[in-house]
Structure 1
Amino acid sequence: MDITHDLTMWALFARATLIVKIVMILLVLASVWCWAIVVDKYIQYRRAKAEAEQFDRAFWSGEPLDLLYQQIGPNPDGASQRVFAAGMGEWRRSHRTDGALIPGALSRIERAMDVVIGKESERLQKGLPVLATVGSVAPFVGLFGTVWGIMNAFVEIAAQQNTNLAVVAPGIAEALFATGLGLVAAIPAVIFYNKFNTDADRITASHEVFADEFSTILSRQLDA
């Protein structure tokens, strides 16, 4: 088949000018990068939710907190466990040798858990700015490729002095293909950015709620 009349995706790419080819390659790479982030975040968030539910059941099972801390250790794998371990570790360090508490123990415990929650929030948000950037920039990059392609298409039309649709269509299709790739990269990026950003906020909020509940429990023990 003559490549000038072949309107398949590969033919449109092969017929494009160098600038448009570079734009198309960048958009394809951006799309692949976004999907890699989507898969990674889906696995990460699913694991974080499952871990949080499992730890929540263990925490509210009535098991002594000291025993639970001994089971998970000072450096556990789960995010909720790390928040608990940070607070429990500071609780233990706040006791003097005679068993009395060092003044300001509760505020130090809360700060220790807040530090861990902040780190976990950063870990959850990692990669999301890439989705946001691709979602906002990719359509304009594709549009740039389209404008450049149409400009060259009109130059070719003027050189051939032929406005027949069979001559015009391939050049226009090649130019619009860049915009199509830009939308293919941008639309999933925007959708999954909004979803994962909401999920990250919910997970972080659950950690903050747990930290408040844990602080309340320790506060009761201090008052007692």
Structure 2
Amino acid sequence: MAPTSEDMSILSLVMNASLVVQLVMGLLLVLSLLSWWHIFSKHFTLSHATKKSEDFEDRFWGGTDLNGLFDQTRRGHAIAMEKIFIAGFTEFQKLRQRGGMELSNIMDGTRRAMRASMQRELDYLDKHTSFLASVGSVSPYIGLFGTVWGIMHAFTGLANVGQATLATVAPGIAESLVATAIGLFAAIPATVAYNRFAHDVDALANRFDTFIEEFSNILQRQAAH
């Protein structure tokens, strides 16, 4: 039963919508809640990774001995750039201890170890961002489906009404448009967050790339002496 013209609150429109429209709204609400969970979780994860990388760079370029920095970093809870440093320095020491290897081969192995570690870290930092992209792109269409279905249902109901007036049609159309509004409510934050997180991950990837090259040069100079 459609709400009367005096009862046009959002809650009333949702409660009096057809079953299909209510299911669409429920699905969109679940997607919105999940996307907000991932937004807050990813925000703290990326902020923590950025802060830890900045702190590590300060210690790295602060003149600390590499062996001491390695021991210090390995004892803690290493993430992001710290794991790249540990992977590179571990591989460098292991290859040097083998003996008989060319410096170029040692450095190639060291870079490969750091690149692999970097990719694992980026995969972790980029986790669940594809879900946000999906919510941002699909939610408006899910809401639109609910709206179209609701409008069809409203106009079908007019067949049983002797005289169609604006007061008769408006509630059914209004409850249908709520589905589109909820779809946009779910899509807009997810899209904005996805774009922001993609930018942050790219910035960290560039930072990791720069560190790998600079650290490789330091190790190469160290091995050459």
Partner of 1:186: 187
> Equivalent residue for 2:101?
102
Q: How many residues align?
A: 221
Alignment of 1:202-213 (within 5 A): 202-213=203-214
Q: Distance in 1 between matches of 2:120 and 2:75?
A: 16
1:162-215 CA deviation, whole Å, 9 max, x = no partner?
221111110010110101111111111111111110101111111111111100
Query: Partners of 1:117 and 1:191 in 2: how far apart?
Result: 26
Q: Distance in 2 between matches of 1:25 and 1:70?
A: 52
Report the counterpart of residue 80 of structure 2 in structure 1: 79
> Structure 1 runs of 4+ off > 6 angstroms?
none
Task: Name 2:66's counterpart in structure 1.
Answer: 65
Relative to structure 1, is the Cα distance of residues 117 and 110 closer, same or farther in structure 2, using a 3 angstrom cutoff?
same
Relative to 1, partners in 2 of residues 1:124 and 1:51: Cα closer, same or farther, differing over 3 Å? same
Aligned to 1:217: 218
Could you tell me which residue of structure 2 aligns to residue 4 of structure 1? 4
Task: Determine if the alignment matches structure 1 residue 177 to structure 2 residue 178.
Answer: yes
CA distance in 1, matches of 2:97, 2:149: 73
Please tell me the residue identity of whatever aligns with 2:182: L
Equivalent residue letter for 1:205: N
Aligned-partner Cα distance in 1 for 2:31–2:154: 26
User: Contact 1:131–1:190 at 8 Å: present in 2 too?
Assistant: yes
Equivalence map 1:1-224=2 (5 Å): 3-5=3-5, 6-73=7-74, 76-96=77-97, 100=99, 102-103=101-102, 104-224=105-225
Cα distance in 2 for partners of 1:161, 1:190 equals: 45
Judge which range, 28-37 or 7-16, deviates more.
7-16
Cα displacement string for residues 54-78 of structure 1 (whole angstroms, at most 9, x for unaligned residues): 0000000111101110111277422
**How far apart in 2 are the matches of 1:199 and 1:101?**
42
Would you say the 8 A contact 2:3–2:171 is kept in 1?
Answer: no
| AA partner of residue 156 (structure 2) | V
How far 1:11 moved relative to its partner?
0.9
Matched position secondary structure for 1:168: helix
Distance 1:42 1:144 in 2: 31
Distance across 2 between alignment mates of 1:144 and 1:190? 20
Instruction: Go from structure 1 to structure 2 and tell me whether the alpha carbon gap of 1:85 and 1:109 turns closer, same or farther (over 3 Å shift).
Output: same
1:124-143 per-residue CA deviation (whole Å, 9 max, x = no partner) reads: 11111111111111111000
In structure 2, what residue type is equivalent to 1:38? I
When the two chains are superposed, the root-mean-square deviation of aligned CA atoms in Å is 1.6
1:73 is paired with a residue whose SS is helix
Within 1, Cα distance between the matches of 2:100 and 2:50?
34
Check whether the contact 2:95–2:106 (CA below 8 A) recurs between aligned residues.
Answer: yes
C-alpha distance in structure 1 between counterparts of 2:61 and 2:156, whole Å: 73
Contiguous gaps of at least 5 residues in structure 2: none
The runs of 5 or more residues in structure 1 that have no matched partner are none
CA contact (8 A) 1:120 1:204 kept: no
